[in-house]
Structure 1
Amino acid sequence: MGYLGEGFRLIRQPGLRLFVVLPLILNIIVFGVLIWLLGEGYAVMVDAAMGWLPDWEWLQVLDWVFWILYGLVILLLLAYGFVMLANLIGSPFYGYLSELVEKDIAGETLTPDDGWLQIVKDIPRALYREVRKIVYYLPRALVLFVLGLIPVVNLVAAVLWFLFNSWMMVLQYVDYPADNHRVSFDGLRKRVATQRLTALGFGMPVAVLAMVPLVNLVLVPAAVCGATVYWTREMRDADQRGAA
């Protein structure tokens, strides 16, 4: 769990801050536009629904009810959708952020200004890795969703859902340093599987904080930094020790 705390410390460093702020601004803009578009479409539907109802004064309170429900939906989107969208949009930045963190751990000089061309060149590969993770996630999430609809079984499914999301948080963020070292996604899964308890110790707090609106705005870059420290100390160094 300390790796995530270390990630929050690292994102405050001047040499890394730029690659934390830029994807954050992009994500806020995109998410703000999506919320505005949803609001405009929802307003049309609310007006249409209210137009079908009798013009009784007490029914007008439904207008407020509809917009309260909309607010709850937006909170859920912020809790669940923002992190997924942030990972997709910011993936080229986060790959380079992970590389800078590795340099910082090694005591090397950070030169973030040299990385813009690399970020642009890495966009196709970064997006492919994100799609690969989504393809891995969706069928398993669907199985757990179906199990969650079955009485009694859904009690176990709730625990499995949390554990699976925690597992996905590990794969999601440790994938950035793994990709920098040209480790395939399948290869990453095998490596992480050898350290399941340590991995889940990192993934669980990330999964919990991902559901907290506003906190999840800064969670993604902090998780990238923390996962890079985790990769360096738990996996890369273990590989080097094994080679020695």
Structure 2
Amino acid sequence: MQVDIIVGARYLLAGYRLILRPGLRRFFVLPVIVNILLFSAFISLAVGQFDALLSWVLPGGDEWWVSVVRALLWVVFVVASLVVLVFTFTLAANLIAAPFNGFLAEKVAVHLAGTKVRGGNSSAVAEIIPSFLNELRKLSYFIAWAAPILVLAVIPGLNVLFPFIWILFAARSLAQEYLSYPLENDGMKFKEARQRLSEKPMLVLGFGLAVMAATMIPVVNFLVMPAAVAGATALWAGEWKGEKRMNGH
């Protein structure tokens, strides 16, 4: 079990190595641009709004306790952002970048199979509407599961379990999100993909935990989307399709 979690996490590192290879570098540019723009906008908006909220809630002046409360609330805000908002942001970013992520997964799969990767973004453009609709279906599935878990946060006694349950849920959801790209490229619908992924839950969880951790690291998180797509493609190829010799380990 522990070994599977570690193996799953290693595939994200393989993803970072893959996207930096000469034949694949040009295919992750658009997902990276989307990630940088959205991360920057998200951080700027969140920090600005929270600072305004603190100014409205807390009294003015230089009293020491006001500074202490403000500092503590900022700590709570940062932790909450990392645990909850980063997850929801990542799903939103994938909603926008879905066609390019699917295209990247296709090119990584070709690379792992040992054939030459050819250029062109025409297929990514053609998949914009279908990919967007598919991401909406996945998003509705994740929201349906997230809602009852979020309720735990406000139930006395049970709320102590919320951070642990949320982390496990978010990690698995992120793994399902990124693994869905190579599986869909192989002709699977999201429901069938979830069934296949349930065959090796610890591998999936390990990969998802690694993605979540990378999303919280400055600079590293700018590349996490394409790296996770590439790593998920390698994970699918290596652990389900038996193509480990080509997966970058």
Common fold: TM-score over 0.5: yes
1:34 to 1:160, Cα distance in 2 relative to 1, 3 A? closer
TM norm structure 1? 0.78
1:14 to 1:69, Cα distance in 2 relative to 1, 3 A? farther
Return the structure number with greater helix share.
1
User: Given the alignment, which residue of 226, 234, 240 partners 2:231?
Assistant: 226
Structure 2 distance, partners of 1:159, 1:70, is: 21
TM norm structure 2? 0.76
Deviation at 1:211, TM superposition (A): 2.9
Structure 1 distance, partners of 2:155, 2:75, is: 29
**Partner of 2:104 in structure 1?**
97
1:58 to 1:159, Cα distance in 2 relative to 1, 3 A? closer
Residue deviations 1:165-194 (CA, integer Å, cap 9, x gap): 121122101100011112000000111111
What is the aligned-residue identity percentage?
Answer: 34
1:83 to 1:120, Cα distance in 2 relative to 1, 3 A? same
1:92–1:123 Cα contact (<8 Å) kept: yes
* Residues 24-173 of structure 1: pairs in structure 2 closer than 5 A: 24-33=32-41, 58=62, 76=81, 79-112=86-119, 114=120, 116-173=121-178
1:8–1:226 Cα contact (<8 Å) kept: yes
Structure 1 distance, partners of 2:51, 2:162, is: 36
1:187 to 1:103, Cα distance in 2 relative to 1, 3 A? same
Residue deviations 1:123-157 (CA, integer Å, cap 9, x gap): 11211221111111112111111112223322333
Unmatched 5+ residue regions in structure 2? 1-7, 244-249
User: Given the alignment, which residue of 186, 200, 204 partners 1:195?
Assistant: 200
For 1:22, what is the secondary structure of its paired residue?
helix
Structure 2 distance, partners of 1:196, 1:38, is: 33
Structure 1 distance, partners of 2:239, 2:194, is: 14
Unmatched 5+ residue regions in structure 1? 239-244
2:102–2:181 Cα contact (<8 Å) kept: yes
Q: Which range moved further: 151-160 or 25-34?
A: 25-34
Deviation at 1:201, TM superposition (A): 2.2
1:23–1:89 Cα contact (<8 Å) kept: no
Query: What's the C-alpha RMSD, in Å, of the aligned pairs?
Result: 3.4
1:27–1:85 Cα contact (<8 Å) kept: no
- 1:178 and 2:186 matched: no
Structure 2 distance, partners of 1:155, 1:34, is: 28
Deviation at 1:90, TM superposition (A): 1.5
**How many equivalent residue pairs?**
232
1:99–1:180 Cα contact (<8 Å) kept: yes
Q: Which amino acid aligns with 2:182?
A: P
